[in-house]
A and B are shown apart, each in its own frame.
Chain A
């Protein structure tokens, strides 16, 4: 009964390649997120989608493009990968804002990306 799932779990690739990370949630949540956790463990939000609409877009290079085909999925595509993109990427989801359901975010297991 996985709530928020991500694939792949590990991703090793060469600089310059294009890669995608997929995220799916079966919680019926309206909002999904992508976070990046760097080597110092700092967790920073990248994007947020609510019902397939982009609502948060932090200062992230244009090489990163989120895609939400439906509200249960939020994929992250990265073009022209760079060494500094190496990190753990977390997907998360939460109920609709002000839903009264505690506005808690539920995280996926993370995808460890290593760019060589």
Chain B
């Protein structure tokens, strides 16, 4: 069974600064996807960024980037130039290629401080 661990329940960052959210996972499989989802106070789950395990290059989406360390089974999210709108719960998620089930971490609550 796959597990996803987010060891930081809460974090805060000053506006315009950079913050990194940690995520580790456990699997014996080789082909999978990793995701970061954002859940603002509106509760809507929004995909932030995704990474395919067979790609060594770290995914980037504007101010969001990941540090994917496959051997260490680590998938951290870096948010650069933090904005007030980044305040939200952030969930790390894992999905085996070809399977429907997604396993989520317990989330990290990020507060961006003006």
Chain A residues, CB < 8 A from B45: 43, 90, 92, 107, 110
A45 within 8 A of B: yes
| A contact set with B: CB distance below 8 Å | 31, 33, 40-45, 48, 50, 55-56, 88, 90, 92, 94, 97-98, 102-107, 109-110, 112
Contact between chains at B100 and A50 (CB < 8 Å): yes
Chain A nearest CB from B29 CB (Å) reads 14
Chain B nearest CB from A104 CB (Å) reads 6
Which of the candidate stretches B15-23, B72-80, B90-98 sits at the interface with the other chain? Answer: B90-98
A interface SS class: strand
A45-B101, A97-B100 known; 12 new pairs, CB 8 Å cut-off, are A31-B100, A41-B106, A41-B107, A42-B104, A44-B104, A55-B100, A94-B100, A97-B99, A103-B33, A103-B95, A107-B44, A109-B44
Q: Which single residue of chain A is at the shortest CB-CB distance from B102?
A: A105
Q: List 21 A-B contacts (CB under 8 A).
A: A40-B106, A41-B109, A42-B107, A44-B104, A50-B100, A55-B100, A88-B43, A92-B45, A97-B98, A98-B98, A102-B50, A103-B33, A104-B35, A104-B50, A105-B102, A107-B37, A109-B42, A109-B44, A110-B43, A110-B44, A110-B45
